[in-house]
Amino acid sequence: IKGVQSKVFYGQLTYQPKACYACGHVFDDQIIKHGFKTSLIKMPSISGFHTYLKLRKQRYFCKHCHSTFTLKTSVVAKNCCISNNTKVSIALNAKDKISEKDIAMKHNVSHATVSRVIDSFYSYYQPNVHYLPKHLCFDEFKSVKSAAGAMSFIFCDSETGEIVDIVEDRRLHVLKEYFLRYSKKARDAVKTIVIDMYSPYISLIHEVFPKAEIVLDKFHILQLFSRALNKTRINVMNRDKKNYNKLKKYWKLLLKDQTKLDYKNYTYHRCFKKHMCEVEILHYLIDLDSELKASYELYQYVQHCIKTKDFEL
């Protein structure tokens, strides 16, 4: 078939229909057989061969409405030459990391058919605009290159972790337009929203969720303090040329939880040209500058508060 050696199965479809497909008249002696219509149906490949089903489908003529109709089968859809099993096989292949072109070659169909089948299996998600969870989490992530903004927006229920919806663009005007589709009752029901320190989210919440309380997540709070501590260390490092290498090499030590510092094991350190433990190195670094010491103590204090979940502190 078309220059390719293939396997062909021959079949005949014939049964007595309950009624005329055109006018709906119940089957009687006025609905008569009217020959056969032969279809070449593409089936899933067998043993590496392109496979077809050559099916002769019974046709009927209805004298009540003077129309003809062909019998239906679950093997293939009406007016289609690609079997339903082939379509399911294409959809299952689409789950793997394989191009549409390769799927088309494997199933002996066109690229357009593969694209159309994949689209037919995809159902568009329609969120309920009359309901929102009481506690939400907002964040952004890198989705696809074709997304309108640099990042896409995702929000979920903070109690269950279930994703509510994903928005292509995270820019303020897009998010405002999206959330205004939800009813005022649904938006007023939101009690808390957990966000990072992205300023447009704060503006959005004030405008669209007036009754919601903003909660900054602990990771970004700690990240803010660690960046401030690093900035202070770099300023001290650039001023103090004598201790430049020490402050540059042991930057991770300043960010380490002070409860996990090693004060027993002594190892040789080239910068100091002697054996020292982690606690000694740390004390040497923070004693170089009062601002660095204050920043370090504040960072450790905040880390302790988050670790012990002491919200008042």
DSSP-derived letter for residue 276 is E
This prediction's pTM: 0.56
Q: How far is residue 238's CA from residue 229's CA, in Å, rounded to a whole number?
A: 14
Angle at CA of residue 250, ends 246 and 254, nearest 5°:
120
Instruction: Report mean pLDDT in 10-residue bins for the chain, 313 residues.
Output: 92 93 91 93 91 94 93 91 92 89 91 90 82 93 77 91 89 92 93 90 92 90 92 92 91 90 90 91 92 93 89 83
**What residues contact residue 112 under an 8 Å CB cut-off, 6+ apart?**
none
Report CA 137 to chain centroid distance, whole Å: 15
Relative orientation angle of helices 218-239 and 290-307, to the nearest 10 degrees: 160
H or E segment and range at residue 33? strand 31-46
Question: Is 113 in contact with 121 (CB distance < 8 Å)?
Answer: no
Q: Parallel, antiparallel, or unpaired for β 163-167 and 67-70?
A: unpaired
pLDDT of residue 195: 92
* Nearest-10 Cα torsion for 29, 35, 41, 43: 60
pLDDT of residue 34: 92
Tokens 């650039």 sit at which residue? Answer: 238
Look at residues 253, 255, 180, 201 and name the one whose alpha carbon lies nearest to residue 225: 255
The CATH label, of 3.30.1360, 3.30.2000, 3.30.420, 3.40.50, for the domain at 135-216 is 3.30.420
pLDDT of residue 82: 93
Give buried/exposed letters for 111-136 (b at 16+ CB in 10 A, else e). eebbeebbeeeeeeeeeeeeebbebb
